[in-house]
Amino acid sequence: MKVFLILLAQYNGKNNGVLALPRSEHPMYGLGANGRIVKNAIEELEDAGFIVTTRPGGCVPGAALYAITTEAIDASPRHDWPEEHKASHRWRNSDRTTVVQRPEPKQFKDARLNGDPCTKMVPIRRKTAD
């Protein structure tokens, strides 16, 4: 949600499609230097239909560019998407009835001190809705 709000705050009414969150700005927003957190958040927002990637990132073209689906995408020479005259609202059509598959947490090894089984670490699992 934080990543969506950061992208939404960049929107000025005529720059949808060129919203960016480069890795160099992650610490400024309190996201840390680990790009994996932002990558996972972007993937979840795309899966839910709240944003679309208008240009993939990389060294040569620059940072990835995004558009929020609550507003129409604006034309820009920085991406190849056509201009939209109304918002797509893809989040309304996303299938939110299926549970998103997440990898199982890593099992902790026994952390036994002096052979005491009471110090065994057990991962806490979240209950998923069926």
Q: Is 127 among the domain residues?
A: no
**Residue 47 sits in which domain range?**
2-92
- Answer whether residue 35 is part of any domain: yes
Using pLDDT thresholds of 50, 70 and 90, give the confidence band for residue 113: very low
Mean pLDDT of the 89-117 span: 51
Q: Is 120 domain-assigned?
A: no
Residue 124 lies in a domain: no
pLDDT in tens, 54-87: 988 876 678 889 999 999 999 998 888 888 888 8
CATH code of the domain in which 49 resides: 1.10.10
Residue 14: per-residue pLDDT: 93
Q: What is the DSSP string of 53-91?
A: EEE--BTTTBS-EEEETTSPPPP-TTS-PPP-SS---GG
Task: Return the amino acid letter for 114.
Answer: N
- pLDDT category of residue 36 using cuts at 50, 70 and 90: confident
128 lies in some domain: no
Task: Please give the pLDDT value at position 31.
Answer: 86
Any domain includes 34: yes
Categorize the per-residue pLDDT at 129 as very low, low, confident or very high, splitting at 50, 70 and 90.
low
**7 found inside a domain:** yes
Count of structural domains within the chain: 1
The C-alpha atoms of residue 19 and residue 30 are separated, in whole angstroms, by 18
Query: Nearest 5°: CA angle at 100, between 99 and 101?
Result: 110
Residue 36 maps to a domain = yes
Enumerate long-range contacts of 51-60, CB under 8 Å, 24 or more apart.
Answer: 51/4, 51/7, 52/81, 52/88, 52/90, 54/17, 54/18, 54/79, 54/80, 54/81, 55/79, 55/80, 57/22
